[in-house]
């Protein structure tokens, strides 16, 4: 297993998951709700920044690796799934939204693994629609974790759930896109199931 700065940042993201979740369960005697929300949102934002930074540094420093390519999406999916489950637990977003997003992540991860086993992983490589979906998800989760007023007086719960609707639409759209790409790859090929 290689160890370099990009992989260290990815491991940091994984380590931040239980910290982010634990903050929301601290008693008021330790940290009042507004401060829990602010700290939890900050930790999630830090994790989201490491997601961008580890990929950038891996390419910039020439430190890409098969292990890093495996660990990065796993870390992304773990932190998003943990945050979504937390938001449902805190009654800040509907459970059906979390189920759609988490279900899509599992489906597309399995599809990518299957395609890799068939030698066709590039046909379901990350597309622009997937990046849009991720951006909408991260913004929605960040707003819902913060769950307070913005400087303009807009409440982040309403704005966060609006972004979550957008994320769900993009989630379904990107899933259909990736499934179509996989279907095109295998049209005319014999597939053993």
For 57-73, letters b (16+ CB in 10 Å) and e give: bbeeeebbeeebeebbb
The pTM of the full predicted model, rounded to 2 decimals, is 0.88
* Long-range Cβ pairs for the range 4-8 (8 Å, 24+): 4/58, 4/61, 4/63, 4/65, 4/68, 5/54, 5/57, 5/61, 5/63, 6/54, 6/55, 6/57, 6/58, 6/61, 6/63, 6/64, 6/68, 7/54, 7/63, 7/65, 7/67, 7/68, 7/71
* 89 closest CA partner among 35, 50, 133, 144: 144
Three-state secondary structure call for residue 191: coil
Q: Is the pLDDT of residue 82 over 60?
A: yes
Give me the mean pLDDT over the 3-18 stretch.
92
Q: What is the predicted pLDDT for the residue at 31? A: 95
pLDDT digits (tens, 9 = 90+) for 31-79: 999 999 999 999 999 999 998 898 888 889 888 888 888 888 899 999 9
Residue-level pLDDT at 68: 85
Q: How many CB atoms lie within 10 A of CB 167?
A: 27
Rounded to the nearest 10 degrees, how much is the dihedral formed by the CA atoms of 99, 103, 104, 110? 170
- Domains in the chain, CATH or no CATH each: 5-185 (1.20.120.1760)
Q: Which residue has the higher pLDDT, 27 or 188?
A: 27
What integer pLDDT is reported at residue 12 of this predicted model? Answer: 94
Position 116 scores a pLDDT of: 76
Highest mean pLDDT among 26-30, 68-72, 181-185: 26-30
**pLDDT for the residue numbered 191:** 47
d(CA 69, CA 115): 15
Which two three-digit tokens encode residue 10?
């990815």
DSSP state letter for 153 = S
Q: Is the pLDDT of residue 192 over 50?
A: no
Nearest to 40 by CA among 31, 53, 28: 31
């Amino acid at each position: 297993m290689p160890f370099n700065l990009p992989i260290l940042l990815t491991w940091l993201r994984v380590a931040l998951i239980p910290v982010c979740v634990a903050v929301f369960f601290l008693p008021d005697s330790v940290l009042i709700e507004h401060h829990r929300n602010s700290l939890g949102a900050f930790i999630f934002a830090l994790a989201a920044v490491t997601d961008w930074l580890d990929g950038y540094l891996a390419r910039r420093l020439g430190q890409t690796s098969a292990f890093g390519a495996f660990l990065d999406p796993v870390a992304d999916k773990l932190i998003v799934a943990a945050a979504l489950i937390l938001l449902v637990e805190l009654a800040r977003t509907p459970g059906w939204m979390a189920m759609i997003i988490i279900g899509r992540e599992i489906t597309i991860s399995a599809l990518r693994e299957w395609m890799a086993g068939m030698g066709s992983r590039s046909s379901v490589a990350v597309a622009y629609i997937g990046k849009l979906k991720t951006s909408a998800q991260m913004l929605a989760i960040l707003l819902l974790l913060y769950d307070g007023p913005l400087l303009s007086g807009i409440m982040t719960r309403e704005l966060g759930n609006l972004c979550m609707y957008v994320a769900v639409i993009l989630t379904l759209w990107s899933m259909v896109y990736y499934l179509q790409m996989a279907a095109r790859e295998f049209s005319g090929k014999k597939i053993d199931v």
